[in-house]
Amino acid sequence: MSQWQGSTPDPVSGQPVGLDDVPAPAPNPVTPEVSETAVDSPFASPTQAAPPAAEGSVPPPQFPNAVPVGYTPGAPGYATPPPRPKGLRAGPVIAIAVILALLAGIVGGALGFAFANRVFTNEGVNPSISLGTAPAAGTSDRPADSIAGVAAKVLPTVVSLDVVGPSESSTGSGFIIRSDGYILTNNHVIEAAASQGTVTAGFNDGTKATATIVGRDPAYDLAVIKVDKKDLPALPLGNSDDLVVGDAVLAVGSPLGLTGTVTTGIVSALNRPVTAGGSGTKDTSFINAIQTDAAINPGNSGGPLVNSAGSAIGINSAIATLGGASSATGSIGVGFAIPINQARRTAEEIIRTGKSTKPVIGVTLDVRYTGPGAKIAENSIGGAEPITPGGAADKAGLKPGDVVLSVNGRTINTADALIVAIRASQPGDTVTLKVQRGASTQEFKVVLGSQSTTD
């Protein structure tokens, strides 16, 4: 099992890791252990103990006319019970009650039979009533804006992915973005089969289909695959720029191979710079991530993060671990998703051309620099010039040794943060860089260049 690891410059206690690469289940998989948390019933009322009686006193009666043991008429503290009311003799009362009960039973039974017959045959009373009919697959009798309602809408659009390559296999998730068979997922989910291998998509209705890789983008950790199916339910894409911290979200996918899993949470943070890459991937991905506390585990990779309207606003891609000897790949409430606005642009490019591009400013950064901002190298590093001749930074007037402090007002603290901030834009966009040069600071308008992300 390969591991997709990364880091984030924020003080998160651990590092983001990839969510794919869950080994195919063994012939006799172990059933996961489930723990339950007791929940107080809203219908249960606490039992309140009666206050202790004073020593030597007689307990008060529990009912107004009850007589305590040892009661003596006229004793202090007790009133004489009222006299028993007079009325009809017992015999006539019982006879009348029996007759009334028989009449009520006959009339009620006849009316009930007539009403039930009309309801069950959908005639007359309410033709829309249909008893004992379960909701159709992919639907819910819950309100559309409830968690269950949103889940019912999203689940038919989410697929599980089984990937087999020459040297490794993995599982992950994806979701349908076009009804003619296009599916969006993470690059690291399908990377094992990029050159040779198979990708199998499992659908919510239990069917499976072989998928082909249309294109992939290691720089953004995105990929598009396609199955030969028509009229598939596609997941609507939302606007990740509209998100605010605290928005409710659902994560849907196949964590640990458990297909059709839904977890809930909120948007915990935005614009979280996350870098990923390492043992499980050939390339480093830079993610301008949405952080969420929705439970995300290995196998959730490539699945959608959706808003309360049931629209995709992110692609679940990484989780944080505790690190060190206690390192674990389970959810600790710190997960990361690629914003859907970035994924939409990349997916459209891949579908249209089979390739994708990324924005660049044309500089080499000094990763050894530890001060504030991101420093452009002063000299060539590994044969790469500090400023690419004719590149975006060169045209804007940047110089070797300049320190970039912000991008469009967004503070930059590390080299990774600068790359993530630039890649949050598109080729051709104009960004404003605040730069420190010596003892002075100034702003530069940079028109971003373009570079292919295809291998």
Same fold, 1-9+11-21+135-355 and 357-452: no
For residue 65, pLDDT over 60 is answered with: no
DSSP symbol at 58: P
Q: What is the pLDDT of residue 98?
A: 55
Q: What distances in angstroms separate CA 26 from CA 22, 29, 30, 31, 227, one per listed residue? A: 11, 5, 8, 11, 26
Query: 371: helix, coil or strand?
Result: coil
DSSP symbol at 124: S
Active site residues: 188, 221, 301
Query: 180: helix, coil or strand?
Result: coil
- The domain spans of the chain are 1-9+11-21+135-355, 357-452
How does pLDDT run across 321-358, given as a tens digit for each residue? Answer: 776 555 556 788 899 999 999 999 999 999 999 999 99
Going 125 to 128 to 129 to 131, the CA torsion angle's sign is positive
Distance CA 250, CA 293 (A): 10
Please give the CATH topology (third level) of the domain spanning 357-452: Pdz3 Domain (2.30.42)
Q: Which CATH architecture has domain 1-9+11-21+135-355?
A: Beta Barrel (2.40)
More confident residue, 333 or 104: 333
Distance CA 89, CA 67 (A): 25
Mean pLDDT of 44-52: 43
How does pLDDT run across 109-143, given as a tens digit for each residue? Answer: 655 554 444 433 333 333 443 334 445 555 568 88
Q: What is the pLDDT of residue 55?
A: 46
Burial of 17 (C-beta count, 10 Å sphere; 0-12/13-18/19+): buried
Q: What is the pLDDT of residue 328?
A: 59
What is the share, in percent, of the chain residues with pLDDT greater than 90? Answer: 58
How does pLDDT run across 183-230, given as a tens digit for each residue? Answer: 999 999 999 999 899 999 999 999 999 999 999 999 999 999 999 999
How does pLDDT run across 245-255, given as a tens digit for each residue? Answer: 999 999 999 99
